[in-house]
Structure 1
């Protein structure tokens, strides 16, 4: 799908992907965890809502068995495994796999294959995001901290300077 990236927000991308999924009918849709440009982590969840499909997020392991898929993800307390019915959407964590690299002869063969190019309007999507960046600014500078040499010095500073004890 050819589009101007600056005009696409997460919702527009999810709607385009929904059009592709409706046309292709895949059983398993794999997406990255978050966008590289704005770090938003929204497209997978929005696509799941638009399709009404189950979703497993932040997958570090995936196992497909028949018409089910098990997704293991890391959480604060360890690992969590969920089971989803296909079709399903999975957003991946960097631990899911190690990428393999295509050999040069295969790259050359792929260049000769015809590409079916589409535009967002082919999927009924108006490529005009409703989000606008108002401003971006650095955080306020903070004062440097003070190192103390002993617990006694720390207690003294907390008592007399900070007046918190």
Structure 2
């Protein structure tokens, strides 16, 4: 992020597995300190794929939120977020400060150049701990077990629509 234009960074260090609610609480504390006008988050985490942190953060801060943004337009004290829905596109108009979670269609990825990567090394990164923010990151969920789904049974071919209907009736579907 620093190689792509951020002036500084904040790294919150922990040895714990941090669940989405704890991440949202930590980000809320950072937001209270930093007072940003807009917080942009990814849609989902790569670790648990839960799609919860942005929504939880919006609730904790009491800020408006636009999720799955494919287009973001800032105008004064407002932000318009366009998102894909089943029936097409939906645009919501939010008052800043706001939370926006992104969709992969939001923009074309920009890659850091070597000179900017070198410059980024001199930009400050504040190293913090969870204790600095007073947030309890104790996991609230416990994985009891993980099992593979049952193997799928082979399908069958039918010769006609009537035969298909009879097979479905026999299975209790039709």
Q: Is the counterpart of residue 54 in structure 1 residue 83 in structure 2? A: no
Q: Distance in 2 between matches of 1:50 and 1:163?
A: 47
2:90 corresponds to 1:65: no
Under a length normalisation based on structure 2, what TM-score does the superposition of the two structures give?
A: 0.86
Is 1:23 the counterpart of 2:65? The answer is no
The structural deviation recorded for 1:62 is 0.5
Q: 2:20 aligned with 1:2, yes or no?
A: no
Q: Could you report, residue by residue, the CA deviation over 1:82-117 in whole angstroms, capped at 9, with x for unpaired residues?
A: 000000000101110111001011101111223111
Residues 103-114 of structure 1 mapped to structure 2, 5 A cutoff: 103-114=113-124
Deviations 1:107-132 (A, max 9, x none): 01111223111111111112321111
What secondary structure does 2:21 align onto? helix
Q: In the alignment, is the contact (CA less than 8 A) between 1:58 and 1:74 conserved in 2?
A: yes
Q: Point out which structure has higher relative CO (alpha carbons under 8 A, 6+ apart).
A: 2
Equivalent pairs counted in the alignment come to: 163
| Partner residue in 1 for 2:156 | 146
Further displaced range: 150-159 or 64-73: 150-159
Contact 1:14 1:47 in 2 (8 A): yes
Aligned to 1:14: 24
Give the secondary structure class of the aligned counterpart of 1:117.
strand
Instruction: Report the equivalent of 1:89.
Output: 99
Distance 1:150 1:19, change over 3 A: same
Return 5+ residue gaps in structure 2 as ranges: 1-11
TM-score of the superposed pair, with normalisation by structure 1: 0.91
Uncovered stretches (5+) of structure 1, i.e. residues with no partner = none
SS in 1 for 2:155: coil
- Secondary structure of residue in 1 paired with 2:121: helix
Per the alignment, do residues 145 and 83 of structure 1 end up closer, same or farther by CA in structure 2, a change over 3 Å counting? Answer: same
